[in-house]
Each structure stands twice: as C-alpha cells, then as structure tokens.
Chains A and B, each alone.
Chain A
Amino acid sequence: GAGVSQSPSNKVTEKGKDVELRCDPISGHTALYWYRQSLGQGLEFLIYFQGNSAPDKSGLPSDRFSAERTGGSVSTLTIQRTQQEDSAVYLCASSLYTSGGYTFGSGTRLTVV
C-alpha cells in the first residue's frame, strides 16, 4: 500500500483481556518496528524485525508482550492479560534501508479499563 496501515485505530479493552494489534507495512520494506507512546512520554522502542533475521525483542516490557511478522510483511503485536499501564498509542513503522527515516502508521490507541 501507499503507507503503513495499522488496525484497529482505537481499542478499548478490559483489564486482563488479550489484544492483538495489526501492522501492514509499506510493500517491499524489509524492516518493521513497533514503538509505543504513553501519555507524556516519548516513543518507546518495543521490537524490530529485519528481513529473515531474528527479531530484536529487547524493548518488550514484559513476557505478556509478543510480536510476529508473517511472510516478511504483516506484523501482529499481542498483549496478553492487559494491564492499565499498557494504555498507550502503539505505533508501527517500516523502512526500506537499514539507515534512513522510518515511515510510521497512524497508530493504535489502546485503552485498558
């Protein structure tokens, strides 16, 4: 597609439920990143996929968080047993080169009540 697409744009879930957030990167982009922005905070790195390499999961805040990237394209970020502190905007980005600017999606605003 023309840009990075994320769905849903908004998600309200009850504490303890699992959620899945989807990212569809720009076609042909080999690198895919997940970040999140909590209220009043900067962009916090979560996980990075580059081609067929093992993903860099160093930013995942707990083992409740996991992500997959199927076929080198679409990625799903899963949060199990959501907590209120998981409330944030989750941003996905993709890039063609290993250096250079990312293209971000519009994000998924997750609210855990």
Chain B
Amino acid sequence: DQQVKQNSPSLSVQEGRISILNCDYTNSMFDYFLWYKKYPAEGPTFLISISSIKDKNEDGRFTVFLNKSAKHLSLHIVPSQPGDSAVYFCAAAGANSKLTFGKGITLSVRP
C-alpha cells in the first residue's frame, strides 16, 4: 500500500519553462513534506520542505505547494534549467519522523 504516490514516472520540459512535479499521499497523519533530488550514483539531496501548517514555501526557483484537503503537494521549478534534470522524490513524515518516499519522477530539461 503506497502511502506516497508520484503517479508520473517522467516529465520533460523546455529550458526556461515551468516544471510542475506532483505528489499525492493517503496518510492523514503526515504533517511534514519534503522534496529530494537525486543524480545518478549519488544519494538524494534535500531540496525543500513544507509543514502542514503552511500551504506554500518558496526557496529561489523552487516552490512547494500543499493542499491538505486534497492530500496533494506539488513542486514548481521556474525557470527550469538543464542542471535540474534529475530524479525527484516526494517524501512525507508523521510524528515519528520516519520518511515515507514516493517512487520518484525523472525530470528532463531540454536545452
């Protein structure tokens, strides 16, 4: 039973355009959400997070939106750059702080 779902396995966007990566979750006890970025042969690196008391968090080109009623979050990257090409994992945590990850989405930014 997947508690964190990234339903699209891949996304391709043109450089300079917006990338929107989606994530859905089923466990209403999750109260903290994170996005990680992973390059081949490297471990995932933390990108941005959001607490359930907020609906938006912004850090430079990266913005995460949280819709608690829909149990949905999204990561917006604007403008997208070729160096953003990587696998992006959505993750969620509850009170025990253990992160549950989605399967990831491969983002390709075309020059």
Q: A and B, one complex?
A: yes
- A41 and B43 within 8 A (CB): no
Tell me the minimal C-beta distance from A101 to chain B in angstroms. 3
B43 adjacent to A106 (CB under 8 Å): yes
* B41 contacts across to A, CB distance below 8 A: 106
- Closest approach, in angstroms, between the C-beta of B66 and any C-beta of chain A? 15
In contact, B46 and A99 (Cβ under 8 angstroms):
no
Which residue on A lies nearest to B102, using beta carbons? A42
Is there contact, CB below 8 Å, between A45 and B98? yes
Main secondary structure of the interface of B (DSSP, over half): strand
Please tell me if the beta carbons of A45 and B45 are within 8 angstroms of each other in the complex.
Answer: no
Q: Is the CB of B98 within 8 A of A48?
A: yes
Bound Cα distance from A74 to B1, whole angstroms: 32
Q: How far is the CA of A106 from the CA of B103 in the complex (A)?
A: 18
CA of A44 to CA of B99, assembled, Å? 10
Say yes or no for B42: interface residue by CB 8 A criterion: yes
Q: How far is the CA of A45 from the CA of B56 in the complex (A)?
A: 27
Q: Report the Cα distance A31→B97, complex, angstroms.
A: 10
Closest CB in chain B relative to A86 CB, distance in Å: 19
Of residues 75 through 111 on chain B, the ones whose CB sits less than 8 Å from some CB of chain A are 89, 91, 93, 96-104
Interchain CB contact under 8 A, A45 and B103: no
A105 within 8 Å of B (CB atoms): yes
A70 within 8 A of B: no
Q: Which residue of A lies closest to B104 (CB)?
A: A42
A residues in contact with B100, CB < 8 Å = 45
Q: Mark A37-53, 1 if CB is under 8 A from B, else 0.
A: 00011111100101000
Contacts of B43 in A (CB 8 A): 4, 91, 93, 104-107
Query: What 0/1 readout, one digit per residue, does chain A (80-97) give for beta carbons within 8 Å of chain B?
Result: 000000000001010100
* Leading 4 A-B pairs by shortest Cβ distance: A104-B43, A101-B46, A42-B103, A43-B101
